[in-house]
Structure 1
Amino acid sequence: MNELVSVDEMRVAREALREVLVRSPLLHSRHLSEVVGGPVYLKCENVQRTGSYKIRGAFTRISRLSAEERSRGVVAASAGNHAQGVALAASLLGSKATIFMPEGAPLPKVEATRAYGADIVFPGETFDVCLTAAQKYAEECGAVFIPPYDHHDVVVGQGTLGLEILEDLPEVRTIVAAVGGGGLASGLAVAVKSVAAERGVEAPTVLGVQAKRSASFPPSLAAGRPMTIKTSPTMADGIAVGRPGDLTYRLVSEFVDSVVTVSEESLSRALLVCLERAKQVVEPAGAASVAALMEHTYAMKPPVVAVLSGGNIDPVLLAKVLRHGLATAGRYLVLRVRLTDRPGALVQLLSELAVLGVNVLDVTHERVAARLHVEDAEVLLHLETRGAEHCDEVVGRLRKQGYTLTFS
């Protein structure tokens, strides 16, 4: 069916990984099933060793090196999940890992990578600087460079996830997975399409998902070749890749049915849904499949499997993204209220909010500022509401009472 990567290689890799991996669960989601109108399951690679699926490809690649190559050590460039996958795989296989990470990489990811036994080098602020430095180090020191996605062995390892999905849910009709460089989506797509061809049955639809701000695959697929784009900041930094890999582009274009994009608002809401309804801690890139499920519901033929590809999120970022998700869902409202600076004015405002059933999380009362008239004061409010309709009720009531509102 395809000469680049075979499902038989994936079966061999799966046997080699059997004692290495956690068999990540496939959990039914009642909430998402109601959204889609049919069964939805979450493949929870966020609870995988190292917190993501990346250990699959990293271990497969390093395990196929010769003893002499492993003795020279391995090197990678990564700000997070690939770093941890390579570090753990190298330690399990008796090789020394050196990881080049950007300055300012989240401390939890740095410490986790170091805890798996890797040496860490900070050559500069960007991933591109790290990549150049890692490749130079490999050339000078003889270490083997382990790419994050664009390598045959890495794709084979990631494809083992597709085999697991079919074992646990043979009747699956749609599989949704995040796409960065394309290693995961291409691997699992080859796996499920190849198995379906062997069995003579209809293959599941495979949908890839990218953050709208950093989506290199849609323009590449439209152009018929890998295209380089300028990425924009996105909370889903784990899948912000400026150019598809050459190998992964060929596989995605042949085996992945389509690649959709999702907004930052959808990503934050998806992360909130995963935490509140599925009790799963995921990073924004790991929640991209759920974001696609909610934003592109029309494309989902149940039963659906959404891959939660990673759970390595900095707690500080988690707090910010959750707040963003609550705001998007109409459950967190930040606004400034202008009022007359007189005794009892603040009490009256808070009383109005109490009548509306709003939970006041924070209040900042400002009486002296260049933008304020002498007789005015301003109150910055952080409010917890019950949803979009409740937000509208709060805003309408305050405006009806004569308050001037601005939103933050």
Structure 2
Amino acid sequence: MGSTSTELPLTRASVLAAHGLIKPHIHLTPVQTNTTLSTLASTPQSPETLKGTRWEDQEPARPKIKLFFKCEHFQRIGAFKVRGAFHAVKRLIERDPEGLEGVRRRGVVTHSSGNHAQALALAARTFSIPAYIVMPSISTPSKIAGTRAQKAFIHFSGSTSQEREAVVDKVIQDTGATLIPPYDYVDVILGQGTMGVEFAEQAEALLGKEEKDKKGKRLDAVITPCGGGGMLAGNAVALHGTGIHVFGAEPSFQGADDACRGVAAGERITTVKTLTIADGLRTPLGEHNYKIISDPEYVQGLYAVTEENIKDGMKLVLERMKCFVEPSAVVGLATVLYNEDFRKMVEREGGHEGWNIGVVFSGGNTTIEAITKIFAPVNEE
């Protein structure tokens, strides 16, 4: 089951056009720096930290890194997903022979347990379009409430993709609504890529102020979380040809690193069953996204981190940056801080000058209760 838009090519020019289309509906999220985290990233990990990892007894990497953070947790609905949702809806209106009235008569539908559900509901409400959202009954209550607050029609389903898609099919039969998938959809990918355009420009402006003697100084790399791959693929398309390297980061818990494993094996992995705390990254790569992410001309590397790495990264962001982020948002930072393969690559490629690395904080849709549970002491009795 699926619906795809193939009218626009997956190119940087298409991302720039998408940015112009959605700019009135999204926030220009800030780019922040943090001296403490940049210093930590540039400090070799201790032998004690590496004990028990595959890098035990190896000489720790000594990269030189300056970090820049694209704060999409400050985006509307608390996550980057509104970018793709608004672009998909506006493109749908443009393509419909009857324009907005035609789309309003049929509505839009998607299946999502969280951020895309809220994002599409908001985009649809903005244009008075009915939104039918299929959510697993086990979805986080706060995300169900957030979706309902946007006046969407929620249909509950089982948690498997087959159960979700069966309910979507029924909604389409009953309403004629147009399916806008959460990540494997060209218009969504292009919309997500708009953050890469902003990120590069904002970081260059910051570097211009700080390093006036270094004309043209810019980001050397951007690293984003990777679940279904829409954000990573979108950023890769947006930054293709700019000289900025693009990397993806995943959790390793219970096979959540399907992109890493699939690209290494040369074949997309289609099923993921994991309970990683990075719940926004529990999905396999979409077909469109796999084609981009598996191409080294677009994505130069994929890396995975442990649950403890994610917790440590999240703790640093909460305490040192005072940013309220969800676990999925910090897998990129965790990679920069704790994945020795990535750190050795930066040491090698960055040399004496080092690298300016952009890290995407993808969202902040979590709760105090969820954070408390993540950091609760383990009962060893």
| TM-score for the superposition, normalised by structure 2 | 0.79
Secondary structure, aligned partner of 2:10: coil
Secondary structure, aligned partner of 2:194: helix
Structure 1 pair 205–120 and aligned structure 2 pair: CA distance change class (3 A): same
Q: Equivalent residue for 2:61? A: none
Among 5, 14, 21, the alignment partner of 2:10 is 5
Q: Equivalent residue for 2:230? A: 183
Q: Equivalent residue for 2:369? A: 316
Partners of 1:122 and 1:153 lie apart in 2 by 26
Counting only pairs closer than 5 Å after superposition, residues 321-340 of structure 1 correspond to structure 2 as 321-323=374-376
Q: Does the 8 Å CA contact 2:232/2:248 hold for their aligned counterparts?
A: yes
- 1:317 offset after TM fit, Å? 1.2
Of 292-301 and 12-21, more deviation after overlay is shown by 292-301
Among 29, 32, 42, the alignment partner of 2:37 is 32
Counting only pairs closer than 5 Å after superposition, residues 279-358 of structure 1 correspond to structure 2 as 279-296=322-339, 297-300=343-346, 301=350, 302-323=355-376
Q: Does the 8 Å CA contact 2:12/2:240 hold for their aligned counterparts?
A: no
Number of residue pairs matched? Answer: 318
Partners of 2:176 and 2:316 lie apart in 1 by 46
Q: Equivalent residue for 1:16? A: 21
Counting only pairs closer than 5 Å after superposition, residues 162-241 of structure 1 correspond to structure 2 as 162-170=196-204, 171-194=218-241, 196=242, 203-213=243-253, 214-241=256-283
Partners of 2:275 and 2:109 lie apart in 1 by 26
Of 51-60 and 312-321, more deviation after overlay is shown by 312-321
Counting only pairs closer than 5 Å after superposition, residues 239-250 of structure 1 correspond to structure 2 as 239-241=281-283, 243-250=284-291
- 1:11 offset after TM fit, Å? 1.2
Uncovered stretches (5+) of structure 1, i.e. residues with no partner: 197-202, 324-331, 336-406
Residue identity in the other structure for 2:88: R
- 1:158 offset after TM fit, Å? 0.6
Among 147, 157, 160, the alignment partner of 2:194 is 160
- 1:125 offset after TM fit, Å? 4.1
Partners of 2:278 and 2:137 lie apart in 1 by 18
Partners of 2:220 and 2:150 lie apart in 1 by 37
- 1:93 offset after TM fit, Å? 2.3
- State the superposition RMSD in angstroms: 1.7
Q: Which structure's residues are more often strand, by fraction?
A: 1
The structure with the larger Rg is: 1
Q: Does 1:95 align with 2:129?
A: yes
CA deviations 1:317-360 (Å, max 9, x no partner) are 1111233xxxxxxxx6x67xxxxxxxxxxxxxxxxxxxxxxxxx
Q: Equivalent residue for 1:260? A: 303
Secondary structure, aligned partner of 1:233: coil
Partners of 1:106 and 1:158 lie apart in 2 by 23
- 1:127 offset after TM fit, Å? 5.1
- 1:106 offset after TM fit, Å? 1.4
Q: Does 1:42 align with 2:69?
A: yes
Residue identity in the other structure for 2:120: V
| Identity across the alignment (%) | 32
Q: Does the 8 Å CA contact 1:106/1:314 hold for their aligned counterparts?
A: no
Residue identity in the other structure for 2:125: S
Partners of 1:167 and 1:24 lie apart in 2 by 12
Q: Does the 8 Å CA contact 2:272/2:282 hold for their aligned counterparts?
A: no
Residue identity in the other structure for 1:204: I
> Which one has more relative contact order, counting CA pairs under 8 Å at least 6 apart?
2
Partners of 1:48 and 1:74 lie apart in 2 by 22
Q: Equivalent residue for 1:272? A: 315
